Structure 1
Amino acid sequence: MDGKQLRGTTPTGRRQASVQLVSVWAVEQRLCLTQVPVAEKRSEAVAMPQVLELVDVVGNVVSLDALGTQPALAARLLEREANYVLVLKQNQRELFAQVQARFAPLLVQAPAQEHREKGHGRGEQRRLWLSRYFPLVDAAGAWPGLRTLVCVQTTRWQQGRATCASRYYLSSLGQASASELAGYVRGHWGIENHQHWQPDVTWYEDGCRRDHAPRNLSTLRKLALTLLQCDDTVTSLRRKRKKVARDDNFLR
């Protein structure tokens, strides 16, 4: 679950777009299940509980970015018989500091899972550590069902330069393996790469600015995106879109 601002609707002189949408993305199916607009002058965190009630999450794992990392939302997911993987950032200041301190001595040990890949002119190494024993993380007591802390350290090489970043996660999954947790963490970025990014580059979504059009057309773009991604033709989405416009048989 994640939010997106339609940047083309940002009023002159302001930083926040007037149209913001929170949507739920099914990672394996590459399908947008639902979306809800964020009320004016409110944050994505307010809309997330509303979106959650529209989706059957029983037996699933729900991942949320830092704005959705709230004890109340974690509790609601457990009530709905779902598990969670939540991004932990410094907006949860005390918990973040304690989790960071918990992993400090673990990072000199071998990771529980490691993955390397190359492509698009860059190389990337991802290493994952997890902890299911954290008695000194006092702030964890406020989090319903918290069973596992996760640290993912990413090193990226591009154009002869290396950058390194560490990210932390909270999870209610007590039995999941390191590779499964790595998959959930990696899968969360599917909503960025396959849903948020594609309308921008394939349909120039940020060029849509006025009245109700941005929100309405965002819904139509997601429907079209789902259909194009279901087709197994080996070509870019932009080429598929053009072929649909020119070839009625391909359209059908």
Structure 2
Amino acid sequence: MTAQCAISDRRLTIDDLPESLPAVIETTPYDQHVPAMLGGDPVTLPPQMPAGLAPRSVQEVAAALAAERRQRASQTSRRTPEAAGADGSVIDKAACARLLGFLAQVPDQRDRRGVRYPLPYLLALPIVAMTAHEVQLAGIGEWVADAPEDLLLALGAPLDDAGVARRPDVKAITEALAEHADGYDRALCAWTGALARDQHQHRHRHARGPLLPRLHIDGKSQKGAAPRGGSAPMLLAARRDDGTVAAQRPVATDKTNEITVFAPLLDQLGDAELAGTVVTADQLHTQRGHATYLHRRDAFYVFTVGGNQKRLFAALDALPWRQIAVEHATVDRGHGRIEIRTIRTLPVTERIAGLFPHAAQAFLLERYIYTTDGTPVGAVAVLGITSLTADQADGAAILAYVRGHWSIESLHWLRDRVLGEDDSRQKRAIRAMAALRNLVIGVLHLRGITRISRQLRACGRDPYRRPLILLGLMT
């Protein structure tokens, strides 16, 4: 986000087997000797095969082999989904069924001929694998190959003729993700939202305090997936203030930009989910059409204003800010610096109201940065506008809404650096993999985990237990 505004005469910047098979029995004498060079006494083979060794029918052989496999499988240490581990952990069948229920809502685009695996099963496996810090498709395939059978069964694995859970390879998983990206993304957002509601109810947090629920919107390009000579694919995401992603939508950068995707992105949310929510976005989305759309959906906006709205910017900059006292200020110390943020608010003038629909308040946010010894390092000023009235949000609340928008930047950083999105050269299943990364980060935030890299490394060391606990699939 970049903004420039003049304050005190200076400019500041922010950055199947067949039924039978032919069997041929050789009955002619076979008297070749075993060569002496192989050791032992020469041996003459019998003229024909002993009757007790005559081959059985194909059906009898197959049935015998299947019976042996079933017996061997029943004698292994395979646990049932109800069985507890050494530490008392138990796979929660109800929670697994709930997840599969969300994934069952994804329309199956596959040809019914040749389908070996249920679609929800194929889509559930990468969720746990990604939480186990397998951030690439090859690693997800290896995780599935080594996964305990009780886990596969709990996630809906079909059985083979021997009664053993089938394991899909990485090709089958990749194709499922690539062909069902849109429905998969929506299903993961819906499941994460359900987890968030469960979390809030568990903590008895029926009230959110003085702030309204927030939704932060921002786009992110996926550099590693860019074709040679082409632009990187981009996804526009809406992140809740609890760290979970509510919706995500691709942006066709060769035809359009983020602006045209704003409304279709929020169309994915029901009225009950969007009404009463404060939406923040960068300056690109400070658009009159967006403001009208949000008002129609009973939502509010907090936008910063820059060069894409020149007349509005000039009208805001002309307000008598220096004659208005600072309404609220915050002081933060860390990372070797001290940051002071101040905010002033004013009701909009008739001119501003005519330039931007449903505007109620204007604000000036200033940030001053010092070293720990008090030496000034830099200063930034941002002008903005909101549809929240003074009764709905004072200066402190508006400042919190603006600062909260930067949380979506942390989502992008985590996807890139911790979950390896920019390092990935995978050209298929791009959106599905991004949705998985969003889910993992959102779940960790819901669990109150702030040291995300450390937690994911721990999950990698215990890949078939810790991820299940985090996802609520094991008690």
Length-normalised TM-score, structure 1 = 0.89
Q: Which residue of the partner structure matches residue 74 of structure 1?
A: 291
Shift of residue 162, structure 1, vs aligned partner:
1.2
2:267 corresponds in structure 1 to 53
Match of 2:248 among 17, 35, 49: 35
1:191 to 377, 386, 408: 408
Structure 1 residues 98 and 5: CA distance shift in structure 2, 3 A: same
Structure 1 partner of 2:318: 101
User: What amino acid is the match of 2:377?
Assistant: A
Alignment match of 1:156 (pick from 369, 372, 382): 369
TM-aligned CA distance change 1:204 to 1:90, over 3 Å: same
Alpha-carbon distance, 1:139 to partner: 4.8
Q: Name 1:118's counterpart in structure 2.
A: 333
Q: Given the superposition, is the C-alpha separation of residues 158 and 9 from structure 1 closer, same or farther in structure 2, using an over 3 Å criterion? A: farther
Matched AA of 1:78: H
Instruction: Give the counterpart letter for 2:436 in structure 1.
Output: L
Say whether 1:236 aligns with 2:451.
Answer: yes
Aligned positions, number: 243
Q: Distance between the aligned counterparts of 1:9 and 1:167, measured in 2?
A: 34
**SS state of the match for residue 466, structure 2?**
helix
Offset, 1:92 = 0.6
Matched, 1:143 2:356: yes
The reply on whether 1:5 has 2:221 as its aligned counterpart is: yes
State the 1:13 CA deviation.
5.7
The one-letter code matched in structure 2 to 1:110 is: A
Match of 1:83 in 2: 300
Instruction: Return the offset for 1:169.
Output: 1.3
- The SS at the match of 1:114 is strand
Counterpart of 2:155 in structure 1 is none
Point out where structure 1 has 5 or more consecutive residues left out of the alignment: none
Q: Which residue of 2 aligns with 1:25?
A: 239
Aligned-pair identity (%): 29
Deviations 1:168-189 (A, max 9, x none): 1110001211111111111111
| C-alpha displacement of 1:97 | 1.5
Is contact 2:302–2:384 with CA below 8 Å preserved after alignment? Answer: yes
Aligned to 1:130: 345
Q: Distance in 1 between matches of 2:416 and 2:323?
A: 41
Gaps of 5+ in 2: 1-216, 469-475
Q: Secondary structure at the match of 2:358?
A: coil
How far the C-alpha of 1:158 sits from its partner, in A, is 4.4
Given candidates 416, 422, 430, the residue that maps to 1:200 is: 416
Task: Give 1 or 2: higher strand fraction.
Answer: 1
* 1:171 equivalenced with 2:386 (yes/no): yes
TM-score, normalising length: structure 2: 0.49
Name the aligned partner's letter for residue 458 of structure 2: K
C-alpha RMSD of the superposition:
1.9
Deviates further, 204-213 or 170-179 = 204-213
Give distance in 1, aligned partners of 2:442 and 2:274: 20
Given the alignment of the two structures, is residue 217 of structure 1 paired with residue 430 of structure 2, yes or no? no
The 8 Å contact of residues 61 and 82 in structure 1, kept in 2 or not, is answered as yes
